[in-house]
Structure 1
């Protein structure tokens, strides 16, 4: 197994994204009490059982973003609740092999080739030997994949079903239905989710979008929002400059984050409001668009491009602003909005899929008086910003402290983990479809062409698994030492360390 020795590291916070960030990993690890179990589900024994969970996604640290933060924070809370959690992602440069993060969170950085935008190239077969090795050695019972954009997440779902494991999928993004990219992604999602035990979406709009895209039964789709650690994002109005209005944007500078729209509104608003400034954090290929706008209109003193941000610097940027602007085209929840509203008076965002089936994207996230929604056009965004700017000048906005007090308890990772645990308890008692029923489901649910093709792929995947089990039987594979969970050595080492410190202090007192 091509992994290096385990290295005990804290989470990396080098940020090339900046859109959404990990909030307080040390606080997440402080939660130690178990969740109260309810009577729902197959049996009481299922609820008392602790699960061995494998989180899978192409997107994890040192990459930065909302998916990465969600996986890390959820894993930490699940570990604190007594479950065993490991994470599987692809190698990032020299970061490969097995790494251990806070509280014994084990991360497998698999040596898989990245194809585009940190997503691995998939042939469905090259990842099976590696993932089987992880699933068997770690005695995984539930595979939880994240993000429609992650090829590794789809691979893990496919292989887990072949191995007879229960599966859960969390969708973090919204898609349209018309362009080629959306059509292909939606078909892949339909194939991946047709026999997945349960699906989690981060908003009700995301649920409706996913159910339509993948032709799912709404009863197997749950809504569990993202969260943020409010202790890491507290307001500080003294950091603002009251003689000007500052609009803050923190995002990956890529197309689907709406950077082209941002480049359109900057010159129009700067020409109209001499005291308006833009503070933009993040990095990406669309940075050139903003640099060209700044150069063309000579706005070097009013548009600051901060580049990649480290996690510790995000709050320092947010507290300088009066308005937080989100122009993302695909966000289903947007953690950055919740982070920003706790330190900034007003949020500007928009619903990018109004023209399709008219749900409201962001009103679920915040109360109506704390957010202004716009259409995804330069004209609509300018009108929304002008309205908010006039409110600031007349003092018709609440104070940052009052907003923080309202929002800080709306979304907590502990609540997210408790609700996710109920999903795990539910799927733990469900049946995994055998190969014949799985083939029938693919052919009837995914269309005559795609269904037949992927039914054939499922058969090949099963035959490849039989070959691997003949070459290296499960019984001869070494069982990995648990770093987390009921039998995790991390807790034992921490307990031994605490006991030794108490013994030393007792000796000194004597």
Structure 2
């Protein structure tokens, strides 16, 4: 269901509103689509993008669409694997360059991706994350092959530093002829439109979601004789781990009954270990390391307060999961976070040690004085805000819209690259597009589309699992189901 805008306590936040251009997406269902989700980030790697792709795919399968996922190999996980409901995942043998993102030359991935797109009869390529090189490669190759494209941006970027300038220029090229773009918050939409110089009419806002049945309160797991602050985050600079290292000693000194449980892994873990060692807080600060997604709820229900110290965030599913478990949320006021929860369920702070300490002290005071709602009451409020079924329905409308659009011929695509990306960058990427097209022609001559075997679909009508595995070595893994309630 579409959520209402922020209007008072208990009302859903504005990020859950329908796409920005009401009526621009057709409400009528046209037909089932063959969708390929592409990203460097997928299971067994854990994170918001990975969870988003999996849950969205499960719900789209339930709604009768064919969905496959393409990502790179993770360790020994290579080839084809099957997840719940016959969700087929291709783990490609591409080399990882940095932070789970593959190295790219554009052309090296074309033979593999083209073979998969033809074999699976894909009609829509849905790429995820600006950080994913494979996602951008897939968009580029899809347009060369005449396929429709959708891109979901899960992140926020700046405009001043060198890395942001280069990434934004790449995004401008990648999205200039993408059919439709989805952002997870209005702040994210504004950021993406400015970064990539996009027409706002082709950008929709569809938020993330959380399954309330996976994140339920359990007050009996909490120790009321102490106050427990939960942090579940990657321990990297962008997630504000340096701020956390300043908060812990200051508040632990002031509140002897305050404990921290920190879940997550990353290069900044060493800073937290040094803080714990320097201030002798081994009995009050627990570092759990990397968590499986199925274990996150069991960690959250042990706490009273959830702390998010992110320096940039497009949506932040972690605070929704924490609130669904009945925790009071204290978070930095950055990116799309103010859109996610109503003011009665979150204390927003500036991204500084002083402001976050004040926010935590306010939450501690409310907890001790009995001013906070009961965990079950918080859960009952949050569970009405975001559902994966609603996300899938709205994404389906995007697919229906782009499926009706005509594919640009090569000459018009080149003209758009040059006019949209500038005389230098435009001509460079127009030349790359020509080379990519010639490479595709060569591949079609060597291995024509007609001789590529057509994959046997693992799902039947309405997403039913048929158990018809085209490869005996494929593995079925039970990782969950469509989160619809």
1:422 corresponds to 2:404: no
> Partners in 2 of 1:55 and 1:43 — Cα distance?
23
Deviation at 1:328, TM superposition (A): 1.9
Count how many residue pairs are aligned between Structure 1 and Structure 2.
Answer: 448
> Larger deviation: 292-301 or 384-393?
384-393
Residue of structure 2 equivalent to 1:169: 151
Residue of structure 1 equivalent to 2:378: 403
Deviation at 1:335, TM superposition (A): 1.0
> Partners in 2 of 1:337 and 1:219 — Cα distance?
29
Residue of structure 2 equivalent to 1:449: 424
> Partners in 2 of 1:402 and 1:480 — Cα distance?
48
Question: 5 Å matches for 1:68-87?
Answer: 68-87=50-69
> Partners in 2 of 1:39 and 1:108 — Cα distance?
36
> Partners in 2 of 1:42 and 1:290 — Cα distance?
50
Residue of structure 1 equivalent to 2:265: 283
3-state DSSP of counterpart to 1:136: helix
1:479 corresponds to 2:454: yes
3-state DSSP of counterpart to 1:305: strand
Deviation at 1:484, TM superposition (A): 2.6
Residue of structure 1 equivalent to 2:12: none
> Partners in 2 of 1:403 and 1:92 — Cα distance?
37
**Residue of 71, 96, 99 corresponding to 1:117:** 99
> Partners in 2 of 1:475 and 1:95 — Cα distance?
30
Structure 2: gaps spanning 5 or more residues: 1-21, 470-485
Residue of structure 1 equivalent to 2:387: 412
> Larger deviation: 143-152 or 391-400?
391-400
**Residue of 168, 171, 178 corresponding to 1:186:** 168
TM-score by length of 1: 0.85
3-state DSSP of counterpart to 1:490: coil
TM-score by length of 2: 0.89
Residue of structure 2 equivalent to 1:213: 195
Residue of structure 1 equivalent to 2:30: 48
Could you say which structure has the greater relative contact order, defined with CA pairs below 8 angstroms and 6 or more residues apart? 2
Residue of structure 2 equivalent to 1:302: 284
**Partners of 2:456 and 2:468 within 8 A in 1:** no
Residue of structure 2 equivalent to 1:344: 326
Deviation at 1:376, TM superposition (A): 1.2
**Residue of 351, 355, 365 corresponding to 1:376:** 351
**Partners of 1:85 and 1:485 within 8 A in 2:** no
Output one character per residue of 1:165-193: Cα deviation in whole Å (capped at 9) or x when no partner: 00000001111111112111111111111
> Larger deviation: 110-119 or 448-457?
448-457
Deviation at 1:453, TM superposition (A): 1.0
3-state DSSP of counterpart to 1:299: coil
Residue of structure 1 equivalent to 2:49: 67
> Partners in 2 of 1:376 and 1:41 — Cα distance?
37
Output one character per residue of 1:267-310: Cα deviation in whole Å (capped at 9) or x when no partner: 11111111111100111111101001111111111111011222
Seen in structure 2, the aligned counterparts of structure 1 residues 492 and 287 have a Cα distance that, compared at 3 Å, is closer
Seen in structure 2, the aligned counterparts of structure 1 residues 368 and 439 have a Cα distance that, compared at 3 Å, is same
> Partners in 1 of 2:299 and 2:467 — Cα distance?
40
**Partners of 1:138 and 1:479 within 8 A in 2:** yes
> Partners in 1 of 2:23 and 2:187 — Cα distance?
29
Deviation at 1:39, TM superposition (A): 9.7
1:465 corresponds to 2:468: no
Question: 5 Å matches for 1:90-109?
Answer: 90-109=72-91
